[in-house]
Structure 1
Amino acid sequence: MADVACEISARGFLNSLLREWTGWSLAPAAEAEMEAGPGDGRLRIPLPSRGSVVEIAVVHRSSVGLHVFRLPFREHRAGAPARIMAFAEFAAAVAHEPAIVGPEAARAAPAFLGRVFQSLSAIEDALARAPAPGLGLHADPSFQEAERALRFGHAVHPTPRSRDGFTPEDARTFAPEYGRGFPLRWWSAAPDAIVQGTSRAETAADLSAGLAAEDPALDRRIPAAAEGRVLLPMHPWQAARLTLDPAVDALFRSSQLIDHGSGGSPWFATTSLRSLYAPHARVMLKHSLSLRLTNSLRLIKPVECARGLAVDALLQGSVGAAIAARWPRFHILGEPGYLALRGADGAVLPQTIVALRDNPFRGSGQRPAAVLAALCEIDPDGRGSALADTILRIAEREGGGAQGAETVALRWFGSFLDLVVGPLLGMQCAFGLLFGAHQQNLVLGLDDGWPAEAFFRDCQGTGFVREFLPVLAEAAPGLDLGSGHRFTAAEAARIMAYYLIVNSVFAVIGAIAIAGLAREAVLIRQLRRFVEALAGTDLPDKTCLRLLLDAPTLGSKGNFMICFRNINENTDVTDPLAHYAGLPNPLAVAPAEVRP
């Protein structure tokens, strides 16, 4: 398991590093194959402070930045034989190399390496204890099955499974990959100790009370004891930590806050960890958690709650109706309410916030659905994926053999573009709505393996294109859009290009190509034709489309250096574009130059 965990970790570490640092090189396959074996060549990383060059075999070279490598690392010094270098030693060498990470190497390396090794340990534990999901192998998964299937985290990150504040036992209890459900912790608060917001007729307090009333496994004495108060459905891990918080402890001591204990049906973590799902519940819950996952401390901010309400209200009106009519199979999960405690000074306590999100995957007969990140996660063998298994299942059913698998892959990708990419680009180009559509925020409804409908979640991160604000204000008079991220069309284009194309679409292309089902060049050409067709319509703002077609580079979030510099994206980043690195844009190559 340790060797496999190292290979998975090395892939995320290297792919994130290669996007932000240009000092690496690739030896072609003919030169590399004597030592590295068959493949696409050998990656070379110079380490000047050690007087060496480290090499690793590349078994899949990717134009979308999703390379696959094969261990071991080999360190070369002039006049000495090559030596095998473990992943941990390689990571430490990179973290202490000023030529790669800059002059802060010695200061920043210890904390960074702690996260690298914590993530490595978590991946090794998941390989040993979290069963391989087999997602898509025999049938379409349920929403819950897919949420637990993402075992290895962010595919382009040096610490894809770092969870500062979680012990291994915490992870086994509360992390989605282990599949363990747990009851909520139920608190109740005096109404004047509560801050709440809603964008619909039902208040957040009523929605929370409804959760308790509709849970068949919840002891009826809990809602009865809370009568006249506001029930708070708390994440049990966060609740335990909040009892040590002086501001929360003061509410308990004054009896404004009462702990009714744990109870009710099991809830299950989704891929984001802090969002919880229960098959019986009308809503999902998104909690503040006092821990750092990858780049951010996961505390919800009040402005994010306000943004979620504003987007939900906007989509309840004429803008939402126009979107639903134009793209009926694309659904945006509303976040119609939130609850939080207020401190002695009346201010919101962000560490207590719980947001409420629509749950369309309710009931035992829920429609098959899978989060895109789980579909695209590369298997431990470095080749397969749930998406590849799904495509092969369709091809086998249709009797097309190996050649048929390529045909199915291209058809599947075309359906994905129509279902997901078209609506998201269209909503930005036609309505000025910028959704952070990365892999964990996109869920595909499936029908015998084919994309049938799509769902976007996490409206709290939504942005607005400034040029569209007058039109949006006219469509929703009285609605305050000031809580939203506001970007110019040019800025929004770069952000959408990263989240939707680099993070999500390129992951689909990578998963298909790594499995050998279709070549990246063919898929990229298909994507370019799709974007060109959109650019040929009468959309009012084509800034993003022109960027995708013409820009020599696309922005990719600089996860490696954000993590290395210990930047908390949730509080330390005011301009997300300042941390983007340029990734060569494969779409900008003229279609005739992209060889099939």
Structure 2
Amino acid sequence: MIEADISSADVACQISARSFLNSLMREWAGWTLAAADSRAGDSARPLLRVPLPRRGSVVEIAVTHVSSVGQHVFRLPFRERRVGQPSRIIAFAEFAAAVANEPTIVGPTAPQAAPTFLRRLFQSLATVEDILAHAPAPGIFLRRDPSFLEAERALRFGHSVHPTPRSRDEFTLTDSRRFAPEYGRGFPLRWWSAAPEAVVQGSARTESAADLCSGLATADPAFDPKIRAASEGRVLLPMHPWQAARLALDPEIDALFRTGRLRDHGHAGAPWYATTSLRSLYAPQARFMLKHSLSLRLTNSLRLIKDVECTRGLVVDAVLRGPVGTEIAARWPCFRVLGEPAYLALRGADGKLLPQTIVALRDNPFRGADERPAAVLAALCEVYPDGRGSGLADTILRIAAREGSAGAGPVEAVALRWFERFLAVTVGPILEIQCALGLLFGAHQQNLVLGLEDGWPVATFFRDCQGTGFVREFLPALREAAPGLDLEAGHLLTSAEAARIMAYYLVVNSVFAVTGAIGIAGLAPETALTGALSRFVAALAAKDLRDRTCLRLLLDAPALGSKGNFMICFRNINENTDVTDPLASYVDLPNPLVEPRGRRAVRS
């Protein structure tokens, strides 16, 4: 909870401590919950206790919401206790530094790993404080359904289960204010043109990638026609302005400029806006969104697109434009995958693709007169600085206020109906498509956009074809439905592997975030929501589906896998290049579908 007179710096600490502690608690078993010490003045709340043997102390913090799905909420301050001494209040920064240097928590590599980890943590903390000062809360959801762009801006604080949710290596605060979505500022693209032989491109559509990019410029009434004339016979490249400035210092790019194979036409056209992923850009009038390589690390990954990811996007787009896509549209009409049908990149002097120059195109259904309200799930679920509200909670309260005048029942009933509608519109199609057709969608919160109508979810858009996988057991059927395509270019996973990954991305990351947001706001008990989820999955398992491995895992496994964000971050692992087996970093989270209250949860 946030007191009315608390400073913005303390609010930033409160927000950052929540994500830090939630990630730590998933991966380290040494914490305990205890009854509050009445001397601390918070006797109604349990205390999280974190022993720090190296300091000879235990640190405590009040827990205002204890969650069976790992979405706990805390209240500052941290209090450090030593035997025989009075307790003392310590700052979040001191607590984080103590954890990062505690071998019993982070292991023996603490002295080597702690400096980089803490630098990112303090950078994230400073960014959160700057967001509070310069990116005011949107306040949309209590009034109306947001537009796609409004919702992308509404995610302000990042991953709710990560120790450095707003770390952006290489970005300054000035860069964030200009290019990050939460600040809401648009910016024109920087346009380069290249000799055709200096370009690598691919397209799964009838038009080439070069023609599709040229079409973005042609359709933009603000685009300077002189640039089109100057680039005649060349390939137009829509560049992210931050990346373009970085690439100008790259020797391989400089060589292309010096030989005339690459030209810089400057900034041009109507504004584009960053989405929640930062590297993906949106323009309301554009046929496609743009996904750029950015030479910076966000949370766990250096955000450079790999050429294999581009190929994967083309393959998935082609699969979905064939019989498989036709079947999905017929059986699950409320579900749509945003295709990534084309990409462009420069090639170096040796002829090889330069991954730092890649730009991929993504379908944009959120444009023009037909645009309908839509919200990325992560923005809906993000808990407000008060430690209680959220966009989802406001949406449910808005529906309840509207329907309450018609005698539709209490808020809890509306919250349960909203959750059940979400299961039907979002969770069901994704699970069934994997079980019936063998396509795995990495459906974490930032990859799911909900179409809304009067607050209710009515459609689901999945983005990130490059993260889509195929289940090996379905390959013969997929090859028959999509002859001639290199399905090996996609993530290939066994049914058991796909089940574990789906359980994390869709359920632990996304559904449990919805569960937590509703529970934290006090709109419905988490047990009622996990019970509804269990019944929903059981009903799916009773259907005639080819592969029920994922459904049985959700219903029967005592624990579900959760990505170990804390230690991935602490060990400075780049998920984009250093991880060959994503399951190796998973940690066990007690499965509330089997044991609704969880292993250690107490009633909040």
**What TM-score do the two structures reach when normalised by structure 1?**
0.98
**Comparing 137-146 with 394-403, which one deviates more in the overlay?**
394-403
| 2:26 is the counterpart of 1:19 | yes
Q: 1:135: Cα distance to partner?
A: 2.9
Of 531, 537, 543 in structure 1, the residue corresponding to residue 537 of structure 2 is 531
Q: 1:33: Cα distance to partner?
A: 4.8
CA 1:34–1:144 in 2, change beyond 3 Å: closer, same or farther?
Answer: same
Q: Which residue is equivalent to 2:14? A: 7
**Residue type of the alignment partner of 1:490:** A
Q: Which residue is equivalent to 2:70? A: 65
Q: Which residue is equivalent to 1:231? A: 236
Contact 1:197/1:203 (8 A) holds in 2: yes
Between the aligned partners of 1:595 and 1:589, the Cα distance in structure 2 is 13
Between the aligned partners of 2:93 and 2:602, the Cα distance in structure 1 is 38
Q: Give the secondary structure class of the aligned counterpart of 1:572.
A: coil
| 2:135 is the counterpart of 1:96 | no
Q: 1:42: Cα distance to partner?
A: 0.3
Q: Give the secondary structure class of the aligned counterpart of 1:588.
A: coil
Contact 1:279/1:364 (8 A) holds in 2: no
CA displacement 1:116-174 (0-9 Å, x = unmatched)? 00000000000010011113110000000000110000000000000000000000000
Q: Which residue is equivalent to 1:484? A: 490
Between the aligned partners of 2:126 and 2:93, the Cα distance in structure 1 is 11
Q: Which residue is equivalent to 1:434? A: 440
Q: How is 1:277-356 mapped onto 2 (pairs within 5 angstroms)? A: 277-356=282-361
**Comparing 402-411 with 319-328, which one deviates more in the overlay?**
402-411
Between the aligned partners of 1:369 and 1:273, the Cα distance in structure 2 is 18
Contact 1:184/1:236 (8 A) holds in 2: yes
**Residue type of the alignment partner of 1:122:** T
Contact 2:68/2:596 (8 A) holds in 1: no
Between the aligned partners of 1:561 and 1:245, the Cα distance in structure 2 is 32
Between the aligned partners of 2:540 and 2:408, the Cα distance in structure 1 is 32
- Let me know the Cα RMSD of the aligned residues: 1.5
Structure 1 unaligned blocks of 5 or more = none
Q: Which residue is equivalent to 2:561? A: 555
Between the aligned partners of 2:38 and 2:282, the Cα distance in structure 1 is 48
Q: 1:32: Cα distance to partner?
A: 3.9
CA 1:133–1:587 in 2, change beyond 3 Å: closer, same or farther?
Answer: same
Contact 1:39/1:58 (8 A) holds in 2: no
Q: 1:224: Cα distance to partner?
A: 1.1
**Residue type of the alignment partner of 1:530:** F
CA 1:243–1:536 in 2, change beyond 3 Å: closer, same or farther?
Answer: same
Between the aligned partners of 2:121 and 2:78, the Cα distance in structure 1 is 17
Q: 1:589: Cα distance to partner?
A: 2.7
Q: 1:489: Cα distance to partner?
A: 0.5
CA 1:274–1:524 in 2, change beyond 3 Å: closer, same or farther?
Answer: same
CA 1:108–1:595 in 2, change beyond 3 Å: closer, same or farther?
Answer: closer
Of 569, 578, 584 in structure 1, the residue corresponding to residue 575 of structure 2 is 569
| 2:140 is the counterpart of 1:135 | yes
Contact 2:20/2:163 (8 A) holds in 1: yes
CA displacement 1:80-130 (0-9 Å, x = unmatched)? 000001000000000000000000001000000000000000000000100
Q: Percent identity?
A: 74
| 2:477 is the counterpart of 1:471 | yes
Between the aligned partners of 1:516 and 1:40, the Cα distance in structure 2 is 15
Q: 1:194: Cα distance to partner?
A: 0.4
Q: Give the secondary structure class of the aligned counterpart of 1:586.
A: coil
Q: Give the secondary structure class of the aligned counterpart of 2:249.
A: coil
Contact 1:39/1:57 (8 A) holds in 2: no
Q: 1:366: Cα distance to partner?
A: 1.8
CA 1:417–1:40 in 2, change beyond 3 Å: closer, same or farther?
Answer: farther
Q: Give the secondary structure class of the aligned counterpart of 2:256.
A: helix
| 2:50 is the counterpart of 1:45 | yes
Contact 2:527/2:596 (8 A) holds in 1: no
Q: Which residue is equivalent to 1:498? A: 504
Between the aligned partners of 1:402 and 1:507, the Cα distance in structure 2 is 26
**Comparing 361-370 with 540-549, which one deviates more in the overlay?**
361-370
Between the aligned partners of 1:485 and 1:32, the Cα distance in structure 2 is 51
Q: How is 1:362-441 mapped onto 2 (pairs within 5 angstroms)? A: 362-363=367-368, 366-399=371-404, 404-441=410-447
Between the aligned partners of 1:368 and 1:27, the Cα distance in structure 2 is 44
CA displacement 1:268-297 (0-9 Å, x = unmatched)? 000000000000100000000000000000
Between the aligned partners of 2:310 and 2:596, the Cα distance in structure 1 is 43
Between the aligned partners of 2:350 and 2:238, the Cα distance in structure 1 is 23
Q: 1:37: Cα distance to partner?
A: 1.2
Q: 1:349: Cα distance to partner?
A: 0.1
Q: Which residue is equivalent to 1:165? A: 170
Contact 1:33/1:41 (8 A) holds in 2: no
**Residue type of the alignment partner of 2:11:** V
Q: Give the secondary structure class of the aligned counterpart of 2:271.
A: strand
Q: Give the secondary structure class of the aligned counterpart of 1:73.
A: strand
Q: Which residue is equivalent to 2:3? A: none
Of 524, 527, 530 in structure 2, the residue corresponding to residue 521 of structure 1 is 527
Contact 2:320/2:326 (8 A) holds in 1: yes
Between the aligned partners of 2:247 and 2:526, the Cα distance in structure 1 is 48
Q: Give the secondary structure class of the aligned counterpart of 1:500.
A: helix
Of 245, 258, 263 in structure 2, the residue corresponding to residue 258 of structure 1 is 263
Q: 1:595: Cα distance to partner?
A: 12
Between the aligned partners of 2:75 and 2:22, the Cα distance in structure 1 is 13
Between the aligned partners of 2:128 and 2:218, the Cα distance in structure 1 is 38
**Comparing 366-375 with 582-591, which one deviates more in the overlay?**
582-591
Structure 2 unaligned blocks of 5 or more = 1-7
Between the aligned partners of 1:201 and 1:233, the Cα distance in structure 2 is 20
Contact 1:338/1:356 (8 A) holds in 2: yes
**Residue type of the alignment partner of 2:571:** R
Q: Which residue is equivalent to 2:5? A: none
Between the aligned partners of 1:411 and 1:582, the Cα distance in structure 2 is 30
Between the aligned partners of 1:8 and 1:38, the Cα distance in structure 2 is 22
Q: 1:590: Cα distance to partner?
A: 7.6
**Residue type of the alignment partner of 1:120:** L
Q: Which residue is equivalent to 1:152? A: 157
